[in-house]
Every structure is written in structure tokens, then in C-alpha cells.
Amino acid sequence: MIAPTIRIQREDFDAAAEQRALTAARRDVGALVSFIGLCRDEGGRLAALELEHYPGMAEDEVARVAAEACARWPLSGLTIIHRYGKIAPGANIVLVVAASSHRRAAFEAADFLMDYLKTRAPFWKKEHLISGDAAGWVEAKAEDDAAADRWRR
């Protein structure tokens, strides 16, 4: 396993380029699982979703969980990119790419990481509404917590 690539960034990402970078000159990759999370428009009412984080803390915490994924599954490579700032509906928010010799490890690692990023990563989301009404912080969802609970040892 090579060291995971982890980036917390304002700018957009190119998922195909990230996949190519992860598999370039690697012959041990038999499966590549990618997940791209996009900003929803919430029924046409959302102008933007603003994501905040603590620089340094977010990277360290995502790296800690990436290391856990690498310990749990035989991964050949791993890339995690999470954006911050104001993100318009339809734009990319997060990318997880897991590479392994076999599909099951890649699927499970990507699923585990997304459950973590959705429920426990140190990011905060604020909605900016088209109507101009006061933006609100997005609350955690019970179903997301329930999904993440299945990974507890």
C-alpha cells in the first residue's frame, strides 16, 4: 500500500485524472471503486452549500480514518478529496477512490470512508437559500449515523 492521497481544498477536482494518477504504472490493481458526492439543490431552494473545516485538524482526522481503512482492507491505493467553501448545486463536494486487487475490498473501503466522512469528519455545512432567507446549519441525520454504526468493531 502506498500512502493515501488526502486533500482538503477549495478548488474542484477531476475524478478521471485522480483515478489515472492512482493506477499509473500499477499492475496490482484489479478493482477501482470511486464515489463522487455532489451538492444537491434541495428541491430547487438551495443557492449554495458552504462547507467549513479546521485546517490541519480536518486533514489529520481524515488521514487517521484512511489509515484505518488501509489496515482493514488490502488496498493498493487510496485517494480522498474533500472540498470546502461555497459549492453550487451540481458541483463536486467529495471524492473517494479505493484501489485493490479485488473488488470487495475496494467497495467496502470506499463505503466505510464515505460513511465516516458523512458522519464524523470535522466539516460543517451551511445552506444558502435562493430565497435569501437566513441560511441554516445542516443537522446530522439519524440514518447516516445508523449506516456508520455497522463499521464499529
Question: Where in the chain are the domains?
Answer: 5-149
> If you average pLDDT over every residue of the chain, what do you get?
91
DSSP 138: P
- The answer for residues whose C-beta is within 8 angstroms of residue 131's C-beta and 6 or more apart is 45
Task: Give the residue from 140, 74, 60, 150 showing the smallest Cα distance to 112.
Answer: 150
pLDDT recorded at residue 145: 61
136 versus 77: which is more confidently predicted? 77
Mean pLDDT calculated for residue range 83-99 = 97
- C-alpha–C-alpha distance, residues 93 and 121, integer Å: 13
Q: What is the pLDDT of residues 16-42, one digit of tens each?
A: 999 999 998 788 899 999 999 999 998
Residue 15 CA to residue 21 CA, distance in Å, equals 10
CA–CA distance, 146 with 153 (Å, rounded to integer): 14
pTM of the model: 0.92
Each residue's pLDDT tens digit, 115-147: 998 888 889 999 999 998 767 888 766 676 666
Instruction: State the average pLDDT over residues 95-108.
Output: 97
- pLDDT value, residue 80: 98
8 has pLDDT over 90: yes
| Class of 5-149 in CATH | alpha beta
Integer angstrom CA distances of residue 102 from 28, 36, 134, 147? 9, 20, 47, 23
Output the pLDDT for position 153: 64
**Over residues 71-78, mean pLDDT:** 96
* Adjacency order of strands within the sheet including 5-9: 5-9, 75-83, 92-100, 31-38
3-state secondary structure of 4: coil
Other Cβ atoms within 10 Å of 24 Cβ, number: 8
CA separation for the pair 93, 108 (Å, rounded): 20
Check residue 76 and give left, alpha or beta (phi > 0: left; psi -120 to 50: alpha): alpha
